[in-house]
Amino acid sequence: MKKLLLVVGILLLPWSANAQFIPGIDLIETEDLGNGLYAFRYGPYRNIFLVSDDGVIATDPLDVKAAGPLQEAIANITDQPVKYVAYSHSHWDHASGGQIFKDQGATFVAQRECLRNMTETRHPDVILPDVVFDDSYSIQLGEQSLDMYYFGPSHDDCMTVMIAKPANIMFVIDITSAPTGWEMEYNPTMAEGYLYNMVPYLRSVEALAEREGVTTIVSGHLALGFSESGKMFAQPAIGPIDAVREKREFWEILFASVEQEMAKGTSADDVADNLLASEQFKAEFLDRMDRKNWKASEMSILLRRVATYTETGR
């Protein structure tokens, strides 16, 4: 039986710290990825942290519920303080809860647009970055480094990808999720999302991975697998870099399918219904996704968004 994959979003699976996250799956998990690199997960959200003899580099604090367990997970490994926190982007579900690390004296780093976003739409639990950069930035601490790269707007207008060294593993958040890029786009109703740059952004990530010799990524969200007996399990934090290419193909086929349908004279209002009923679209696109990975209602919303993008160019 083919393994089925599902990327779990906070809006899709309600949970609390006082209840079991998913039957048989721990709410909190820390994975040792080697070379001083660790992946931490709280519910469906994941980040990474790097441990050196001179301190710890952490990424997204996630939120106020996750930050305490994250601090505990780090303390179970090292008595070194968190000296840096690197934001992947500005969305509150990844970027809040950092006060616990600011109290330790941590320096917060983000792409420049994140500071603007966080200032314009303030959240009491989001710590503004101390250091901002434009295209790239490297946080160096002892034998560890976290290299941050920005390729323009994508899931957010300040989204970065990061490479942890010496592990040489890439941290990719929200734009795709290992082990496959053929998963439903996270929350198609999301107000932000820059469709025009999705394919160029992912191509830039592919080129970066090839240039740096990266073959493995850590995803910012949990992926679930299903055994042959149908039992659900948590996929490992790491997966192949191929997930980035697969996500780029996801968008390319989706854009092309909508453009071809609209070239027939189909209105943006009717594109979703026509494509969801199309055998060609089913064969070229829908069949590449596992059925448990998407709902017709969600796909209809995503298709309508792409149709609007096709009409407006942005």
pLDDT tens, position by position, 169-228: 999 999 998 899 988 887 888 878 899 999 999 999 999 999 999 999 999 999 888 777
Cα gap 54→144, rounded to integer Å = 9
Tell me, yes or no, whether 168 lies in a domain: yes
Tell me, yes or no, whether 252 lies in a domain: no
Tell me, yes or no, whether 71 lies in a domain: yes
CB-side exposure of 207: number of CA atoms within 13 Å?
Answer: 9
Tell me, yes or no, whether 246 lies in a domain: no
Tell me, yes or no, whether 284 lies in a domain: no
Tell me, yes or no, whether 254 lies in a domain: no
Q: In this structure, what CATH number is given to the domain that contains residue 201?
A: 3.60.15.10
Reported confidence tier of residue 229, pLDDT bands at 50, 70, 90: confident
Domain containing residue 62: 5-241
Question: What pLDDT, on a 0 to 100 scale, did the predictor assign at position 10?
Answer: 35
Q: How far is CA 228 from CA 187, 225, 232, 294, in A?
A: 28, 10, 10, 20
Q: What is the pLDDT of residues 105-126, one digit of tens each?
A: 999 999 999 999 999 999 999 9
Nearest to 147 by CA among 237, 50, 248: 50
Tell me, yes or no, whether 286 lies in a domain: no
pTM: predicted TM-score of the whole model, two decimal places: 0.91
Q: Considering its fold, how many domains does the chain have in total? A: 1
Rg (CA), the chain: 20
Average pLDDT over residues 156-168: 97
Question: What pLDDT, on a 0 to 100 scale, did the predictor assign at position 6?
Answer: 44
Tell me, yes or no, whether 44 lies in a domain: yes
